Structure 1
Amino acid sequence: MTLKPDLAWLADPEVFAVNRLVAVSDHISYPSKDAATAGRGTVFRQSLNGEWSFHLASNVSTRPAEFFLRNFDVADWDRIAVPGYMQLQGFGDNQYVNTQYPWDGVEELRPPQVPKANLVGSYVRDFSFSGPMDGGRVVLTFDGVETAFYVWLNGVFVGYGEDSFTPSRFDVTSLIEDGENRIAVQVFQRSSASWIEDQDFWRLTGIFRDVWLESQPALHLDDLFVTTDLSDDFDSAQLRLEMKLRLPEEGASVTVSLKDPDGRVVIAPQVTDAMEEMQLRFHVEKPDLWSAEAPNLYDLEIVLKDASGTVVEFIPERTGFRRFEMIDKVMHLNGKRIVFNGINRHDFDARRGRAVTYEQMLWDVRFFKQNNINAVRTCHYPNQPVFYRLCDEYGLYVIDEANLESHGSWQKDGKVEPSWVVPGDNPQWRECVIDRAISMVERDKNHPSILIWSCGNEAYGGSVIYDMSNWFRKRDPSRLVHYEGVFHDRRYNDTSDMESRMYAKPQEVEAYLNDNPAKPFVLCEYMHAMGNSCGGMHLYTDLVDRYPLYQGGFIWDYIDQAIATDPESDRLGYGGDFGDRPSDYEFSADGIVTAFREMTPKVQEVKGLYQPADIIPDAGGITLRNKNLFVSTDNSHLVWQLMLDGSLVASEELVVDVPAGGTRHIPIKLPNMDAEGEYVLQASLCLRSETLWAEAGHEVAFGETVLSAARASKPGDGVAAANLNVVRGDLNFGVEAPGFKAMFAEVYGGLSSLKVKDYEFIRRPPRLTFWRAMTDNDRGRKHGFDLAVWQTASLYQKIVGVEVDAYSNEPSVCYRFALPGLPVEPIVNYRVGRDGLIHVHAEYPGAEGLPILPIFGLQFTMDARFDRFRYYGFGPDENYCDRMRGARLGIFNGTVAGNLAKYLVPQESGNRMGTRFAEVTDENGAGLRFEAEGAPFEFGVLPWNAFELENALRPEELPPVYRTVITLAAKQMGVGGDDSWGAPVHEPYLISSSEPQSLKFSIAPIGIEEARRLNPSQYFA
């Protein structure tokens, strides 16, 4: 009897798969070994990717009901790419929401109801098929369809599927025809499954992963489960193969062989009579163990032969020997306590959405390895199979997460309210939820990179998810089970084998660890990397050495989810930009790379804090602590450099072999350090030879120390005891030195002119600044409300006193400022020295009872032609007082426009800590040099001030560039990042308003003579 499709299935959580085949492993079969090694794919598979005919209906009632018929005319239909998303190809609107359901405020629904506004995409493709093999089977596979779909072949209904992120497989043997065929698919945007696919992402629709046919021979390996049982001393192992075969006749055989990572035969071909279900065991001596540090993969080969001895299928599978277990409440890999230096990864691309390509996945994996990330959580759904193969090969630990999230059913605006939570304890949802676990595990079970199965994300607690966790344990005891939601519902606390938290503050983590906990602790999400963030991350990573039960965390998250506004543009849009309501706007922009996979400055800190070695230089040598668990440093050079005021004095490259977990002090001989200046000893651990993921010379770890901080002064163009010509006007005070002319305006409160000949460097007098452009974290914690007095102070300060000392040996002028409504009067003093420098001293005296101070500094403006900078301080990327562990001292340069980090929403960016000097110049090198006197200052330079940055919601909203804004600060508060909706910056990185602040530096024109020589027409004589 022919089964008829039923639209009622869309709203029935108990109907989630119709005619779908059981889930199986993701192994690939070839007709022979030669075919497998040819590198052209398998002839058993035929891709149906490509261009399909397409029709979009805005709701169910207007869909083309009989489009699946073979003679239905689709000549006038649109065309769409598969794999791909409807919305990203111009069919339907993009929508981004976080926890709320996308129909909230549009339709009043409760699960499992389906919205009336339900886009329907109808897909049709005609294709030619060469015909199935005699006695075999043809299977149609959809690797991923969001959210629910019905499929027909040659006018006959095939089946129905939900679960967007695991394969739906259908037996189409009786329907496929030699020659021309027509496949028809109807994809529905919403179904009951939408209630449990409430992930924090763009709500997209379509056939977004591969579609393919597989012509399976009559003798076929249906399913394979490879496990490795290691002895307690890890000196031997049992390789176990659990196989399910389809056997057309007796007399077939299975041949198994194994080669080690170097290609040596470990298990010579062993032949066994084929059975429908088989359990094979093989003994392996001294296996090379798999880990992220040493991803040793063995090549397993399985050959199926029919009764005549003819090869029917050849199955290559790469496997790793490893054991993951809990020992004394601590997770261990191969007997060693493991620490996850992890990140959460969404499948995402600015133009393709979650339909990512192999090249993008490879880029991601190489990026993780290059930046010391050793673990990935697949938030919040299974990824494509090839991603796990890359993790196996390159070496990454994986938490594989089931496609389950129902955040909006139990949490509203951060408040827990589980009155109608799904799935909870509702038996109506049990089978579909556990089916998602089955589909993930059965597909992914052979990947050594997967250490942990996750029950999903932010779906509260309850018996349904507990049952899911127990299914994981029963099916695969070789892995542990993760679920964070029990934190909110402790009734089924054993759902998770570890205590998993999101965004717990370091102090909360420490309190848990000090309370004799029953489970190890993992932060499945931490360091919400939205905008200018990741401040204070070291407060987490510092816990690793202090608490054995602290086993790391996973940064939220990897990539900004932003969408290119059109195919040709690099302009990115976020929630709300596409007319989508409700929307959570830019909240999806919380990656450490942009949506175009460009690195942000946050990567610098992540790489530094996750580095696998501690390097501590001193005057006598370098202490190297190898934090790896399994590999020595024998593939690395230790390179040290002695720097004087940022310039190289001496260097040496050493080969140092420190065993895993070992520490060694390597003595070095430094040259005499007789010259005056700041000596810094820096050391790097760099790859000696190329790896899969990096070139030779790639820096893995870094450390430095300041050996001598005495720095030589840098006089300006004047000479000692030079005569200074002073002009005392009514409102202006001028000083002429041999190298420049300076003017100070009493009315405007500062240095109004600094000229060499007639070449002007100052656009407007400097202003005191107490305000920085708010970061995403600042906005989330209502910084603007709490600290608004400092914004007002920056905007509306006024001069209340001017003291001019015109006739002393070094003339000076001191300005005193009042701030609106604040009981504090900061001062700025300028002194023109006979050393050719203008010496500036800004003081904030401190006052009790005021809010914390965002920043205290002085802001200069120059013309836009001064569009590049060079400085000696921490870099090369921006850094802040709570985000500078990944930075290093050096002389760095850049462009002013390029100093605005590529955060999706403009905000404070471009700061540099510990700046000894900074130069802002034009293309010919003419400009100003700012040099610290005493303590280094913080330095930032951008084409816009804080208020222009703050008023722009997108980079394209920033005003045209017409000036350069230079900020020199005594101190700026940290950027924070525990979360982006209220977590404060940690206490050590705040600025108390009662604490006096002092900023001292000198100014001098530089480069004018050389600039005139290079381009005389640009400069006045």
Structure 2
Amino acid sequence: MLNIKRYWEDLSVMQINREAARAHYIPYGDKEGASSGKRGYSPYYQLLNGIWKFRYYSSIADVPADFYEAHTDAEQWDDLIVPSCWQMQGYDQRHYTNLNYPFNVDPPFVPTDNPAGTYVREFNIADEWEAKEKYIVFEGVNSCFYLWVNGEFVGYSQGSRVPAEFNISSQLRPGKNRMAVLVLKWCDGSYLEDQDAWRYTGIFRDVYLLARDTVHMKDVFNRQAFDEGFARAVLTTEIETTGSTTVAGELEDADGHVIASAQAVIDGKGALTFEVQQPKLWNAEQPYLYRLYLMSGEEVLKFPVGFRQIKVADGQFLVNGQSIKLKGVNRHDSHPELGQTIPVKHMIQDLVLMKQHNVNTIRTAHYPNDSRFMELCDEYGFYVIDEADLETHGMGIAGPDWNQQSVHRLSANPEWREAYLDRIVRVVERDKNHPCVVMWSLGNESGYGVNHIAMAEWTRERDRSIPIHYEGAAPINEGLTDTACLDVESRMYTSVPDIVAYATDDKNTKPLFMCEYSHAMGQGPGDLREYWDAFYNHPKLIGGCVWEWSDHGILQHAEDGKPYYAYGGDFGDSPNDKHFCIDGLVSSDRKPHTGLLELKYVMAPVVVKAIDLQTGILELENRYDFVDLSHLDIYWKVESSAQIMQQGRLSAPNIAPHHSDKVTIPYQLNQADTEVNLLTLSFKLKQETKWADSGYELAFAQFELPVEQTAPKKAVFRPKHPLHAAEQGQLLQVEGFDFRYVFNLASGMLQSIERNGVVMLSAPAQYKIWRAPIDNDAQIKEKWQDAGYDRAVMKTYHTHWNQETDGSIHMESSFSMGAVGKFVLLHGEAVWKIAATGEIAIKTDIKVAEDHPFLPRFGLQLILPQGMEQIEYEGLGPDESYIDKRQYVRQGRFHTTVNDMFENYVMPQENGSRYGTKWAIAANHQGMGLRFAATEPFSFNASHFMPEDLTAAMHTYELKARKETIVHLDYKMSGAGSNSCGPELLPEYQLNDQAFAFELTIRPIFSEDEE
């Protein structure tokens, strides 16, 4: 057995021989190389990524005693690429858990059979490095590791997502060298890393060598100060050196012009000062970066300098004196094939998508991200809540007393103080020079106690310029009132009424930050607009971060080769939290869900109000914090009957941030001869940016113009032909000029529709109240099922029919719906009227039984035969929409297909419905089909899956599309909300009507019948 000290269960040891935490930088050989920002341009940087020799052991007890020494059994070692998570390379158990620790809770102890991975790598050292000090940097290793070089023990480190640096000068020799690393899956630090994520292990971030001058700059801290009004900025660069050396500094603007310089001899500690008159300030909308070059000996260091001031004052969050809103998302490191090993291109893909969808803030949930990610946030312009690698969530459910003791146990235990401090020290020291950082976060969901207070006090002493955040100190943790060390009040999933109550209570002096809100799991979220209305209406509400950015599915392939994304339990992992990791605004492969589109337009930078639509006068509100609207063009069009009648483009007026002004759209109001004119405005970028092409839309608005309809729509010609109706047993046969309908008198429902021999209904119509539960139905789903909503069937009490004097056929029925063993859920009266034209008019009156949960939906389900694939509708589109999730869709006439209406969520659920539909057509390729319309806009859905199909399936690959087209015509469907983790669905979005009437029409059509 390997003879090493058990540091992994020793609370007094976080590291052995690890260098003190410092600011992130790479030393370069000249200014030109440093300016490139490319690490490979440095002669003092040597990347050790690549193939390493690797062996996995299910227990550290099985690791050979001499593995780190010279070996002759290389053929028994595997090749493993570094960086990587070894679970994604075929080793160990893939495991997803949210709350539970994946081992017995006995801090600081971890299982005796602690899985281990041994890594070996041979490498050469350049001759030019001989006189240099040489360091090895591990950017991220989960969870702890021991290091040997050339058979000599170097050191130990734990803390998974921050760098560990060692001076290995004395262990290295010229030419070829051998490095060995022992990585353990668990250590006492694992109790502080219980984040909601797949549990990955290994050397998962970059490994590299640095060569340094014998006397060199060790650490740099750029501190800023401003005159009133930001007329002058003073940059004080505090420098720590390993000895006496001359340090010269040059501050360049973004165009490469040196605007300030300084020089000093620094011995241990010293500073350089740079003054800038009328500095260009950094913010997320205008991420202007100066470049600071520090030169000492043969080395050049480069740091981005974004002059900005972050303050909390008067209950508001101020950037450069401006009260702003944090339009944020929570982002885990997540890649569908690499796990937590994130390529730079993947980081950029995330940031580009965020910018395109009006996101300006990222909370690094729940640990520091790769240092290059921080550099990209500086460059692209994001506010970052930089979170320490700290979460003890599992403590709260390991015992019976969540609020009073268990969840706080480690945070309140002084024995863990140094472990907590280590977590904040290393992230603050690494990231202290990044302008993107606007808050330090003490971690996530770890209760609250003296150790958090110690973290905050150290942070404030080290860096008073950045506010401190920690949600775990929220009032839900009763009895813990010492929160003076925190600068903002932070909450999770608090309801809109409750945050408004906070904002309007004068006793609350801190700004409120929703570090998590609006849970974006599956077909959601659906409560974004209400939150943002509150944020904008109350200065004390400074915004928040949606949970979360991306699904965490792992790409897999079914037996038939069909790809799908796996989640908790799919690999036999236990305990697991199933698909709770599939909760993002984008899919695992970064395809935006409709929830992200909703977020984009809810947080849009331009809001439009109609002042006088008769003359085209509108008011534009600029919701940017720092830029005017002159970088946008306004594209406008007026449509009638889906035809563009007028259109144009004009430059957006130069409206200052947080201000409004009027604009006139130069259309001429014409009288439409068929339908209401529709004005659409689209706000698009004038010029290309780093994250979008010119012409990219950031906001839109629509208005119905005040046009009086002067001419009714011309009716389709139908021959005058009497209707014939006759009973045949339980069936009522109704025949017209070119159509034939069949009603089932026992059920009181339409059974068949034919026109010119074309069958247009392949099963009897049914009333439906069940929808395939969406993820955000998690809290109500059980109540629905207990009430029998998922198995409700009709009971028809009586049916009678007659032919009216005008020749139309009337059929009336009385029915109820309920489930076996349950009281009746609702009673209904239905009247079906068939006109000589072939149009079927249906009126349904419903009374819902009391003391039942709100209904998922109510409407008519029709099953159309194979081939009814073409869909046309007027209403909101082109994407799915729901009563509380429709800010991103717009009015229009849309053509699509049944397949294209399907939204492919990892966990199959209700999807693809269109709220606010005026009429819809489902037809075959020849235009033969059914037209649906209602007196009031309705919810329309066409799919190849029954709700029961979606309910039963656990993965998309389990779905088997039906040949038929299943149409739902809903009076109403309950909203999406975010109640998988967030607050209850707002009452106004629940189908809780106790009595209602629903009227609609169905007409068989051929293409020549329509407009």
Equivalent residue for 1:437?
A: 424
Q: Is the 8 A contact 1:838 1:1004 kept in 2?
A: no
Q: What is the aligned counterpart of 1:315 among 298, 301, 306? A: 301
* Residues 576-620 of structure 1, C-alpha deviations (whole Å, 9 max, x = no match): 111111111111111111112111111121011111121224513
Equivalent residue for 1:9?
A: 7
- Give how far 1:673 is off: 2.6
Give the 3 Å change call, closer, same or farther, for CA 64–945 of structure 1 in structure 2: same
Give the 3 Å change call, closer, same or farther, for CA 586–398 of structure 1 in structure 2: same
For residue 270 of structure 2, what is the amino acid of its counterpart? M
Equivalent residue for 1:743?
A: 742
Q: In structure 2, list runs of 5 or more residues that go unmatched.
A: none
- Give how far 1:810 is off: 2.5
Q: In structure 1, list runs of 5 or more residues that go unmatched.
A: 307-311, 1011-1021
Q: Is the 8 A contact 2:493 2:982 kept in 1?
A: no
For residue 178 of structure 2, what is the amino acid of its counterpart? R
Q: Which moved more, 1:349-358 or 1:717-726?
A: 717-726
| Matching of residue 503 in structure 1 with residue 499 in structure 2 | no
Q: Quote the Cα distance in structure 1 between the aligned partners of 2:181 and 2:388.
A: 25
Equivalent residue for 1:91?
A: 91
Q: Is the 8 A contact 2:407 2:447 kept in 1?
A: no
Give the 3 Å change call, closer, same or farther, for CA 7–581 of structure 1 in structure 2: farther
SS of alignment partner, residue 361 of structure 1: helix
For residue 453 of structure 2, what is the amino acid of its counterpart? Y
Give the 3 Å change call, closer, same or farther, for CA 94–798 of structure 1 in structure 2: farther
Equivalent residue for 1:631?
A: 627
Equivalent residue for 1:123?
A: 119
SS of alignment partner, residue 129 of structure 2: coil
For residue 731 of structure 1, what is the amino acid of its counterpart? Q
Q: Quote the Cα distance in structure 1 between the aligned partners of 2:263 and 2:588.
A: 51
Give the 3 Å change call, closer, same or farther, for CA 715–209 of structure 1 in structure 2: farther
Q: Quote the Cα distance in structure 1 between the aligned partners of 2:35 and 2:174.
A: 28
- Give how far 1:748 is off: 5.0
Q: Is the 8 A contact 2:393 2:407 kept in 1?
A: no
Equivalent residue for 1:424?
A: 411
Q: Quote the Cα distance in structure 1 between the aligned partners of 2:826 and 2:199.
A: 51
For residue 911 of structure 1, what is the amino acid of its counterpart? S
Q: Quote the Cα distance in structure 2 between the aligned partners of 1:942 and 1:927.
A: 15
Equivalent residue for 2:841?
A: 839
Q: Which moved more, 1:840-849 or 1:518-527?
A: 840-849
Equivalent residue for 1:585?
A: 578
- Give how far 1:638 is off: 1.5
Equivalent residue for 1:21?
A: 19
* Residues 397-453 of structure 1, C-alpha deviations (whole Å, 9 max, x = no match): 000000000011134699435247443232221112111111111111111010100
SS of alignment partner, residue 244 of structure 1: strand
| Matching of residue 281 in structure 1 with residue 273 in structure 2 | yes
Q: Which moved more, 1:606-615 or 1:845-854?
A: 845-854
Q: Quote the Cα distance in structure 1 between the aligned partners of 2:778 and 2:640.
A: 41
- Give how far 1:354 is off: 0.9
Q: Quote the Cα distance in structure 2 between the aligned partners of 1:825 and 1:709.
A: 41
| Matching of residue 168 in structure 1 with residue 140 in structure 2 | no
Give the 3 Å change call, closer, same or farther, for CA 287–9 of structure 1 in structure 2: same
| Matching of residue 519 in structure 1 with residue 504 in structure 2 | no
Q: Which moved more, 1:664-673 or 1:430-439?
A: 664-673
Q: Which moved more, 1:957-966 or 1:505-514?
A: 957-966
Q: What is the aligned counterpart of 2:906 among 904, 908, 924? A: 904
- Give how far 1:518 is off: 2.3
| Matching of residue 661 in structure 1 with residue 661 in structure 2 | no
| Matching of residue 57 in structure 1 with residue 50 in structure 2 | no
SS of alignment partner, residue 887 of structure 2: coil
Q: What is the aligned counterpart of 1:299 among 275, 285, 291? A: 291
Q: What is the aligned counterpart of 1:558 among 529, 532, 549? A: 549
* Residues 315-337 of structure 1, C-alpha deviations (whole Å, 9 max, x = no match): 22221110001222322111111
Q: Is the 8 A contact 2:523 2:905 kept in 1?
A: yes
- Give how far 1:763 is off: 1.3
Q: Is the 8 A contact 2:623 2:658 kept in 1?
A: yes
Give the 3 Å change call, closer, same or farther, for CA 870–44 of structure 1 in structure 2: farther
Give the 3 Å change call, closer, same or farther, for CA 669–100 of structure 1 in structure 2: same
Q: Is the 8 A contact 1:748 1:765 kept in 2?
A: no
CA RMSD of aligned residues (A): 2.4
For residue 434 of structure 1, what is the amino acid of its counterpart? L
Give the 3 Å change call, closer, same or farther, for CA 720–263 of structure 1 in structure 2: farther
Q: How does 1:509-548 map to 2 (within 5 A)?
A: 509-516=499-506, 517-548=508-539
Equivalent residue for 1:597?
A: 590
Q: What is the aligned counterpart of 2:193 among 191, 197, 207? A: 197
Give the 3 Å change call, closer, same or farther, for CA 41–938 of structure 1 in structure 2: same
- Give how far 1:955 is off: 1.4
Q: Quote the Cα distance in structure 2 between the aligned partners of 1:782 and 1:759.
A: 40
Give the 3 Å change call, closer, same or farther, for CA 1008–753 of structure 1 in structure 2: farther
* Residues 934-978 of structure 1, C-alpha deviations (whole Å, 9 max, x = no match): 21111112211112211111112223423211111111111221x
- Give how far 1:162 is off: 0.5
- Give how far 1:779 is off: 2.5
Q: Is the 8 A contact 1:454 1:481 kept in 2?
A: yes
Q: Quote the Cα distance in structure 1 between the aligned partners of 2:937 and 2:995.
A: 18
| Matching of residue 375 in structure 1 with residue 361 in structure 2 | yes
TM-score normalized by the length of structure 1: 0.93
- Give how far 1:846 is off: 4.4
- Give how far 1:919 is off: 2.0
Equivalent residue for 1:1014?
A: none
For residue 242 of structure 1, what is the amino acid of its counterpart? E
Equivalent residue for 1:970?
A: 971
SS of alignment partner, residue 276 of structure 1: strand
Q: How does 1:343-362 map to 2 (within 5 A)?
A: 343-362=329-348
For residue 70 of structure 2, what is the amino acid of its counterpart? R
| Matching of residue 158 in structure 1 with residue 144 in structure 2 | no
Q: Quote the Cα distance in structure 1 between the aligned partners of 2:383 and 2:376.
A: 11
Q: Quote the Cα distance in structure 1 between the aligned partners of 2:347 and 2:381.
A: 14
Equivalent residue for 2:776?
A: 777
- Give how far 1:907 is off: 1.0
- Give how far 1:987 is off: 0.9
SS of alignment partner, residue 439 of structure 1: helix
Q: Is the 8 A contact 2:801 2:809 kept in 1?
A: no
Equivalent residue for 2:392?
A: 406
For residue 90 of structure 2, what is the amino acid of its counterpart? G
Q: What is the aligned counterpart of 1:452 among 439, 445, 466? A: 439
Q: Is the 8 A contact 2:440 2:466 kept in 1?
A: yes
SS of alignment partner, residue 542 of structure 1: helix
Q: Quote the Cα distance in structure 2 between the aligned partners of 1:274 and 1:923.
A: 80
Give the 3 Å change call, closer, same or farther, for CA 421–66 of structure 1 in structure 2: farther
Equivalent residue for 1:1013?
A: none
Q: Quote the Cα distance in structure 2 between the aligned partners of 1:82 and 1:170.
A: 18
Give the 3 Å change call, closer, same or farther, for CA 788–229 of structure 1 in structure 2: same
Give the 3 Å change call, closer, same or farther, for CA 145–641 of structure 1 in structure 2: same
Q: How does 1:239-250 map to 2 (within 5 A)?
A: 239-247=235-243
Q: Is the 8 A contact 2:723 2:736 kept in 1?
A: yes
Q: Quote the Cα distance in structure 2 between the aligned partners of 1:354 and 1:690.
A: 32
Q: Which moved more, 1:860-869 or 1:797-806?
A: 797-806
SS of alignment partner, residue 526 of structure 2: coil
SS of alignment partner, residue 425 of structure 1: coil
- Give how far 1:717 is off: 5.8
Q: Quote the Cα distance in structure 2 between the aligned partners of 1:716 and 1:970.
A: 26
Equivalent residue for 1:1016?
A: none
Q: Quote the Cα distance in structure 2 between the aligned partners of 1:720 and 1:816.
A: 33
Give the 3 Å change call, closer, same or farther, for CA 740–221 of structure 1 in structure 2: farther
Q: Is the 8 A contact 1:482 1:500 kept in 2?
A: yes
Equivalent residue for 2:139?
A: 143
Q: Is the 8 A contact 2:641 2:674 kept in 1?
A: no
Q: Quote the Cα distance in structure 2 between the aligned partners of 1:645 and 1:117.
A: 71
Q: Is the 8 A contact 1:780 1:982 kept in 2?
A: no
Q: Is the 8 A contact 1:410 1:417 kept in 2?
A: no
For residue 942 of structure 1, what is the amino acid of its counterpart? S
- Give how far 1:27 is off: 1.7
- Give how far 1:693 is off: 0.8
Q: Quote the Cα distance in structure 2 between the aligned partners of 1:783 and 1:414.
A: 25
